[in-house]
Amino acid sequence: MDKSNVEVTSTPVYTGSIPNTPLRFLWYLGSKYKFLGAISFLLVVCAETLNVSIFYVSSRLIDSFAGAESLVQQKEVLLFWGGVFLLVSAGNSILYRASGFTAIYWIIKSIFSPHACIGGNFVMLGSHGGETAAY
């Protein structure tokens, strides 16, 4: 008599064409809309550059204002560097908002695109192994 141990595994093995690791899955979803992802990334880099520039502009404002010798020079410094400070601050906020909107648009287009072949049910009902989410 042959006595062999057979192991029964309850974990299903996924063999489909959709990647089963998180980063590869996200790359798979967003690969058709790489342009939106690149735009979002560039907007974040530009916003962060302006964010760092705020410290430079404010230090130039203070140093130039302290170094001005007359009231007229102080007024010119305040108008110029104060205007630059307002422009940099506004640009920083606008670029952060724009990067967030493009990132959300990229995610929405990626998840609900025909390329992804998934729609919302794939994500909500369990992508690998058939588990259903309790919603």
pLDDT digits (tens, 9 = 90+) for 124-133: 555 555 554 4
Q: Cα-atom radius of gyration of the chain, to the nearest Å?
A: 27
Mean pLDDT along residues 97-107: 90
- Residue 44 predicted with pLDDT over 60: yes
Angle in degrees, CA 42, 97, 60, rounded to 5: 75
Determine what percent of the chain falls in helix, strand and coil, rounding each to the nearest 5.
70, 0, 30
Is pLDDT above 80 for 121?
Answer: no
In residues, how long is the chain?
Answer: 135
Q: For the residues of 55-111, what is the DSSP string, one character each? A: HHHHHHHHHHHHH--SHHHHHHHHHHHHHHHHHHHHHHHHHHHHHHHHHHHHHHHHH
Mean pLDDT of the chain: 80
What is the pLDDT confidence band of residue 135, given thresholds at 50, 70 and 90? very low
CB proximity list for 69: less than 8 A, separation 6 or greater: none
pLDDT digits (tens, 9 = 90+) for 12-29: 666 667 777 777 777 777
CA gap 70, 87 in Å, rounded:
26
pLDDT, position 106: 85
Output the pTM of the full model. Answer: 0.62
